[in-house]
Chain A
Amino acid sequence: MNTVGLALAEALHLIAGGDAKLVAIVALSLRVSATSIVVGTLVAMPLGALLAVTSFRGQRAAIVTLNALLGLPSVVVGLAVYLLLSRAGPLGSFGILFTPAAMVIAQAILVLPLIAALTRQAISDAWQETREQLRSLGAGPFASATALLWDLRFSLVTIVLAGFGRAVSEVGAVMIVGGNIDGVTRVMTTAIALETSKGDLPLALGLGFVLLAIVLALNVVAHLTREAVQRHHG
């Protein structure tokens, strides 16, 4: 059998086997990325929405900068967070380097520009259409931003999922700030990198398929939920 065939067999075997170690790694992956997404969304969505409904000097520069940050390499984010959290760094006294908390911080920073930029774009389009109406109702920037965020909540789910995809799939940042410690900070992506290092390519690719299956399952659930809710609302 070729490598891909072996990897598929390995993936099925891993999923069917319900290996305790694999379950723990998957759970940690989901937990770290879910937490970072909650943190990232709470900061980035209001930011993106406000950027869309207000106008101020330097706004275009801010928007261009935000969009450019989408290209931020995860390994750079990892390095910056590492230097911040290292004992020799400014936040070293908390001692959270090489813990899941450090991974959450790195991923939250990583997804922040993505969620903010996509939110800004979505809100900005809606703002063009409803601006007069909202103004005539006497809504200020905060009220307008809140109203539009609520109106667009179904589209925003897609943005959150995109952010989750970015967080759960990146390896550069969590490798540096988490250290890939067995049973403590080893997540799906760092486990894949490790197995690749060991030359166990079928197992590495098999883990990759497992990760893909999980992300796919999450997207299906989100999609179905959205459809059900929209149908309910008519």
Chain B
Amino acid sequence: MALTRRIVAALLLAVGTLAALPLPAQQRFIVVASTTSTEQSGLFGHLLPAFTRATGIQVRVVALGTGQALDTGRRGDADVVFVHDRAAEDRFVAEGWGVDRRDVMYNDFVIVGPKSDPAKVAGSKDVANALKSIAAAQAPFVSRGDKSGTHAAELRYWKDAGVDLAAQKGSWYRETGSGMGPALNTASSMNAYLLADRGTWLNFRNRGDLAILVEGDRKLFNPYGVMLVNPAKHPHVKKADGEAFIDWLTSPEGQASIAGYKIGGEQLFFPSAKK
């Protein structure tokens, strides 16, 4: 009996200690709703420590698709939103959910596909033509299908190409409803084409037989914007600390830090804040 009691007491003590351990040092922090492309490309891992060192403010990033990130801001669950879908961002600000929107940086999209290239698009610089060829060849194409910024851009490019997806999509067009990484995994396993942001592609390991086939079209430009969730709508928003983050991102220091992020010597994001 004594042994049982001792063991039970020890177990209770262990569990109690586990549960009662203090949370990681309560410090100043903001919640930033952002996109999978900024998180999975590794940019935040490079950028945020510099900001925290400069200001003492910790940044908690929740990485979602652009549509979902904006929704998180709309519900008041984030202080700052950092995304890439200009039309949706402007709507977000116009509806009064966000304030102080600023340009931060851009990167570009690329069309990735199998090296065997059944639709013969390799080397092209014209995204509209490339998509036309893919649709004509009915070559497998993986779509994000998740209302992310990349998904919105993809739909714009199909429109530019004059391809009416609703009428023409068949089994070759596969909507995965997933983030950039999972979509890349899917494309890699079925040797399909897809639209990816360059950052996530460069940081992606499971490439299989995929390679960049189309790049360099001016239309593939992919700008990122940052904005504060409107404190007038959500009074608990950390206005001062959120603004400090926005100010730092667009400051010469923050911009230099963005330009300094490289993978294999290649720069991923290009600063674009206006002075």
Which positions in A face B, CB cutoff 8 Å? 30-31, 34-35, 38, 86-89, 92, 95, 97-100, 179-184, 194, 196-201, 225, 228-229, 232-233
- Per the bound structure, the CA–CA distance linking A197 and B75 in Å amounts to 26
Q: How far apart sit A99 and B24, CA to CA, in the bound complex (Å)?
A: 11
Most chain A CB inside 10 Å of its own CB: which residue of B18, B61, B74: B18
Q: Contacts A87-B234, A198-B40, A199-B207 hold; do A100 and B61 have CB atoms under 8 A apart?
A: no
Residues of the A chain whose Cβ atoms lie less than 8 Å from the Cβ of B45: 182
Closest residue of B by beta carbon distance from A92: B76
Does B60 touch A at the CB level, under 8 Å? Answer: yes
Asked if B240 CB lies within 8 Å of chain A CBs, one says no
**A-B contact number at CB 8 A:** 87
The proximity string for B residues 206-227 relative to A, scoring 1 for CB distances below 8 Å and 0 otherwise, is 1100000000000000000000
B204 touches A232 (CB 8 A): no
Asked if B272 is at the interface (CB within 8 A of a chain A CB), the reply is no
B23 close to chain A: CB less than 8 A: yes
Contact (Cβ within 8 A) A201 B206: yes
Interface residues of B in 60-76 (CB under 8 A from A): 60-63, 74-76
| CB <8 Å contact, B40 and A86 | no
Q: B32 to chain A: closest CB distance in Å?
A: 10
Cα–Cα, bound, A198→B32 (Å): 20
> Are B203's CB and A198's CB within 8 A?
yes
B3 adjacent to chain A (CB < 8 Å)? yes
In chain B, positions 36-71 with a C-beta closer than 8 Å to chain A are: 36, 40, 44-45, 60-63
CB distance from A146 to the nearest CB of B (A): 16
A229 to B1, CA, bound (A): 9
Asked if A196 and B185 make an inter-chain contact with CB atoms under 8 angstroms apart, the answer reads yes
Chain B positions within 8 Å of A, measured between CB atoms, are: 1, 3-4, 7, 11, 15, 18-19, 21, 23-24, 31, 36, 40, 44-45, 60-63, 74-77, 179-182, 184-185, 188, 203-207, 234, 236
The answer to whether A180 and B62 have CB atoms under 8 Å apart is: yes
Q: Which of A98, A184, A196, A232 makes the CB contact (< 8 A) with B4?
A: A232
Chain A residues lying within 8 Å of B4, measured Cβ to Cβ, are: 229, 232-233
Q: Contacts A182-B61, A198-B203; is A35 near B40 (CB within 8 Å)?
A: no
List the B residue with the shortest CB-CB distance to A179: B62
CA distance A142 to B75 in the complex (A): 44
- Having A34-B18, A196-B185, A197-B180, one finds 16 other A-B pairs with CB under 8 Å, namely A30-B18, A87-B236, A88-B74, A98-B77, A99-B23, A100-B23, A182-B44, A182-B45, A184-B60, A194-B40, A197-B36, A199-B184, A199-B206, A199-B207, A229-B7, A232-B4
Residues of A within 8 A of B188 (CB): 199
Q: 25 A-B contacts, Cβ less than 8 Å apart?
A: A31-B19, A34-B15, A34-B18, A35-B18, A86-B75, A86-B76, A87-B234, A87-B236, A98-B31, A100-B23, A179-B31, A181-B60, A181-B61, A181-B62, A182-B61, A184-B24, A194-B40, A196-B182, A197-B40, A197-B180, A197-B181, A197-B185, A201-B206, A228-B3, A228-B7
